[in-house]
Structure 1
Amino acid sequence: MPFREKIAWLSAGGILVAFGPYFALVAMRQPITALGPATATGFLAAIVTLVAVITVASIIVALTNLRDAQQPSDERDRAISRRALAFAYPVLLTALFAALATLFLGAGESVLVNAVLGAIVLGELTRCGVEILGYRARA
């Protein structure tokens, strides 16, 4: 498995580990009416978890595959990355417009903020997923 594919898997896993529980807790808190200390604490915990998981896992993968980690990205890697971004960008924009539509449906600021955060997470998961598929298709 190429080094950059491993990093894409780690990124997708880290996002799911960090933001899965956050969105589960937000969804269980009904009604979602206001941003408060609990939401801020959950968000900060998700960010710290994401950074810690990806940093530690990336260091471990890089140290176990030092030669692969030091290689510059080649044309194949750049093509996979461009394709992943080309898929993720429309997903991100569509999800952001859907998040903004919550305002017209009468949702509050907390719903809007979490919908925008969800759009960003969805876009990043799409990018990671397309990168993984790109490496799998060419393997």
Structure 2
Amino acid sequence: MAFREKLAWALLATAIGGFAVYCYVVDAIVGEIGWRGPVWSLVPPLIGMCVLATILAIIGSIAAALSAPKESYAPADERDRTIAARASTRAYGVITIGLGAIITVTFAGLSQFQLVHALVCLLVCAEIVRYAGEAIAYRRGF
């Protein structure tokens, strides 16, 4: 497995793991205060998710670099740039559709808490689509 493929899998696992922890914490918050709680109650789990994801991403990047030290210093070639561009295009599509859906349901009376949570979910889902697209493209041998 090439360095960039390992990195894509590590970042995918990081995004999924960090988001799972975030959802678990938010579920506990919703159980206590409900969906109409103060939006500030989302700040600690959001910061925690960012810190956890950063730590996991660093660990995954180091592990991928240690397994292929020469490849980790190589610049991205045309194939790498094409894979990244296609994966980013898919993620942009998720963001576009998701924002349209969020704007639509906002008129149904979403609270600020629900709106912020939906936006965080949308951004994380787009990143998951991007990393999964990269990992799968490398696995299939683009």
Normalising by structure 1, we get a TM-score of 0.91
Q: Aligned partners of 2:84, 2:76: CA distance in 1, in Å?
A: 10
In the alignment, does 2:86 pair up with 1:83?
yes
Query: Post-superposition shift, 1:82?
Result: 1.1
Q: Name which of 105, 124, 128 aligns with 1:125.
A: 128
User: Are 2:40 and 1:36 equivalent residues in the alignment?
Assistant: yes
Question: 1: distance between equivalents of 2:10 and 2:43?
Answer: 25
Kindly state the Cα deviation for residue 59 of structure 1 after the two structures are TM-superposed: 1.5
Contact 1:102–1:112 (Cα < 8 Å) also in 2: no
| Structure 1 stretches of at least 4 aligned residues deviating more than 6 Å after TM superposition | none
Cα RMSD of the aligned pairs, angstroms, is 1.5
* Larger displacement relative to structure 2 (97-106 or 46-55): 97-106
1:47 pairs with 50, 70, 85, which one?
A: 50
Give the gaps of 5 or more residues in structure 1: none
Normalised by the size of structure 2, how large is the TM-score?
0.89
Q: CA deviation at 1:25?
A: 2.8
3-state SS of 1:106 partner:
coil
- 1:12 maps onto 2:16 in alignment: no
Specify the SS of the correspondent of 2:39. coil
In 1, Cα distance between the equivalents of 2:48 and 2:94?
A: 26
Structure 2 regions of 5+ residues with no counterpart? none
State how far apart, in whole Å, the 2-side matches of 1:99 and 1:25 are. 22
SS at match of 2:134: helix
Paired residues of 1:100 and 1:112 also in contact (CA < 8 A): no
Residue 96 of structure 1, CA deviation? 1.8
Shift of 1:100: 2.2
